[in-house]
Amino acid sequence: MDPKERPDALETTVTSSEAAELLGVSQRTVHYWIQRGMLKSWKTEGGHRRIPMSGITALLRKRQESLDAGGDEGITLLLVEDDAGLVAVFRKVAKKWPVRVRFFAAENGFDGLILAGLHKPDLIITDLIMPSMDGFQMIASLRESPDLGGSRVVVVTALSDQEINSRGGLPEGVTVLQKPVSFERIEAIARSLV
């Protein structure tokens, strides 16, 4: 092991599972954040990951600052969609709602999990077919995380119910809306969360 990769010997470290618990996300999300460089880590001689507490604290601080900046009114909405044009339309439409919306967007399920872990959205709107991690995988990961399992999930897709079922289906409680998008339905769902 390269000593340069190890943190200061006096710094407290945690395991991947402890980091997941502290951050309120799944272990899979922690590993993804490590791969993306959002969390630093090193491996013991036995191959076990160790994450410096300073990295955990920094992520928690960033999340809290984001929550503090948003205030208590309104909702936090995460749109997971790989079509940039549709993201722009969603953003524009959401600004006109009578509810204040903190809007975040991701282009695939991996980035969606990262933003969900950081911002704890009230409402997650997602497509199902996307590059990297698709909506099916992201929703399954969300349901594994105790802090994110309470987010309302709405799927907006061109897939039929039969196609969705042939790909394993969706968990109970997920609302499915067919494309083209019904912004009125989505607004009604958003307003019900306030």
Q: Where in the chain is the domain with CATH 1.10.1660.10?
A: 3-62
pTM above 0.85, yes or no: no
CATH topology of domain 71-192: Rossmann fold (3.40.50)
Per-residue pLDDT of the chain in tens (194 residues, 90 and over written 9)? 444 455 555 678 889 988 887 777 778 888 888 888 888 898 989 988 999 988 888 877 776 665 555 555 689 999 999 999 999 999 999 988 888 899 999 999 988 988 998 899 999 999 999 888 888 999 988 888 877 777 899 999 999 999 999 999 998 889 999 988 889 999 999 988 88
Distance CA 59, CA 56 (A): 5
Structural contact between residues 76 and 104, judged by C-beta atoms closer than 8 angstroms? yes
* Domain 3-62 is found in CATH 3.30.70.360: no
Place of tokens 């998008």: 181
Q: Where in the chain is the domain with CATH 3.40.50.2300?
A: 71-192
Distance CA 182, CA 184 (A): 5
What is the side-by-side strand order in the sheet with 175-178? 101-106, 75-80, 123-126, 152-157, 175-178
**Secondary structure class of 169 (helix, strand, coil):** coil
Q: Which of 106, 113, 107, 129 is nearest to 32 (CA)?
A: 113
